[in-house]
Chain A
Amino acid sequence: MEPENLTVLLKNHPFLKGLADKHMQTLLSCVSNVRFQEGEYLSHEGQEAKNFYLIRSGRVALEIDAHERGTLRIQTIGENEVLGWSWLIAPYRWRFDSCALEQVRAFSLDGVCLRNKCDTNPEFGYEMLKRFSLIMAQRLDATRLQLLDMYGSRPGVR
């Protein structure tokens, strides 16, 4: 893909909205276009988290192997969302399996490359941290609501 087109597509992804041009240039050298077929795994729990993904289309399921309960799908990540922050946080290992539920197109960002750039360019690093912190906070809020079992019966009503 032409760098110009790549820049436009990246700028359109909600995760990178408002990112200064100089930081976009820093990012560009760590980006590649990837595609996954239905049933293909993008990550396995415990593996080194070398990258993260900006999903362009399709859906990915986060899975946990719950042993005697089998594989549990706990969340889906879809178009315009971000998959993976383990590349940024030690010990840099994936926390879940993630499986393509349908054909997935994504940008793959090299986590090792970006981590080095965060270390050498604190301003860029802070931008990345701000954006990922927001994602994590939103995911935590959503997970808490899921845990509440909101749709369960309320005793004593009707």
Chain B
Amino acid sequence: MPDSIRVQKILWETDDVFTLTLDMSSHKNPSGFKFAPGQFNMVYAFGIGESAISISSDPAQTGTLRHTIQRIGVVTDALSQLRRGDVVGIRGPFGTGWPMDTLKGRDILIVAGGIGLAPLRSVIYHVLRHRSDFGRLIILYGARTPLNLLFRVELEQWSKQPGVEVLTTVDKGDSTWKGNISVVTKLLGSAKLNLENTIALVCGPELMMKYGAVDIERHGVKSGQIFLSMERNMKCGVGLCGHCQFGPLFVCKDGPVFPYTRVRDFLEKKEL
């Protein structure tokens, strides 16, 4: 059964993406809602349905929980109409998170596209909170247009932190946009990577991840050092219903974070 949780705040990031902040202060776990960066919850709009949504909060802030959601279907549309004080259902956290232990002492290359920055924001918060445990942080982020860039204020703040490099790009600029216009993986050429010591975390549309991982490898990062966060329609979230099956894998249970080497062959298969 989902836990009933109150909405504390809704913030519209773009015209179709919003962040729900939930009040976890009365959560059944007295030490707060704990999750690993990369995990997701099943978020229930009562009377409408459930949707698997990645957690985009700071893992250290257990009193609130944030989900950044793109409004693209019936459930997410219902969630977008919630107001402060409304109640949602939460089941989770589910799935595998990003390999935070593997990241220790390493340079971290984050390659994100569109809403894909949301599941990686928890990693960024964690790394910045424990700065001395990690090497350089390089964030490459792409979106459709300048108006679709998420977390612009935070991106600016992160770029000012020591040892952090942030590069952004859009697929379509306009005459006023003075930033990069290209696919996000083209930014790899501008990032100065220490190849041996770099772990790459990739999240975004599947096409972007498929070609992005190839490009990251082409730039010299070994395939064993690349991790992707996959996405599929989910129903149960616990590996029983089969809706999220991806080859022999269940995205909800075996993922959503996978080593690239584990999913590379499946990314090539049509209609999988």
Contacts and interface: CB of A to CB of B under 8 A. Distances in A.
Contact of B190 (A74, A78, A154, A158): A78
A81 B70 contact: no
Interface string A126-158: 000000000000000110011011111110111
Interface string A94-125: 00000001100000000000000000000000
A148 B73 contact: no
Given A73-B181, A154-B72, 20 more contacts: A61-B181, A70-B175, A72-B173, A73-B173, A75-B181, A75-B182, A78-B180, A79-B190, A80-B189, A80-B190, A81-B189, A141-B211, A145-B208, A145-B211, A146-B172, A150-B113, A151-B113, A151-B144, A151-B205, A158-B233
A141 B189 CA distance: 15
Contacts of A70: 175
A153 B148 CA distance: 12
Interface of A: 14, 59, 61, 63, 70-76, 78-81, 101-102, 141-142, 145-146, 148-154, 156-158
B186 interface: yes
Contact of A157 (B72, B173, B190): B72
A142 B190 CA distance: 15
Interface in B187-229: 189-190, 204-205, 207-208, 211
B174 A142 contact: no
Interface string B110-125: 0001110000000000
List 8 tightest A-B contacts by C-beta distance, closest first.
Answer: A151-B114, A151-B144, A158-B73, A73-B173, A150-B205, A153-B72, A145-B183, A158-B51
A71 B173 CA distance: 10
A150 B142 CA distance: 11
Contacts, number: 84
Interface centre among B72, B169, B182, B233 (most CB of A within 10 A): B182
B175 A71 contact: yes
Contacts of B114: 150-151
Nearest to B167: A78
Nearest to A70: B175
B46 interface: no
B181 A150 contact: no
A73 B177 contact: yes
Contacts of B207: 145, 148, 150
B143 A158 contact: no
A146 B172 CA distance: 8
Nearest to B189: A80
Nearest to A141: B211
Nearest to B115: A151
Interface residues of B, number: 36
A59 B175 CA distance: 14
A152 B75 CA distance: 18
Nearest to A81: B189
13 contacts: A59-B180, A70-B175, A72-B174, A72-B175, A78-B180, A145-B207, A149-B171, A151-B113, A151-B115, A151-B205, A157-B73, A158-B75, A158-B233
A138 to B, nearest CB: 8
Contacts of B75: 158
B76 interface: yes
Nearest to B76: A158
Contacts of B144: 149, 151-152
A146 B177 contact: no
A43 to B, nearest CB: 17
B190 A146 contact: no
B178 interface: yes
Contacts of B172: 74, 146
A80 B113 CA distance: 23
Contacts of A80: 189-190
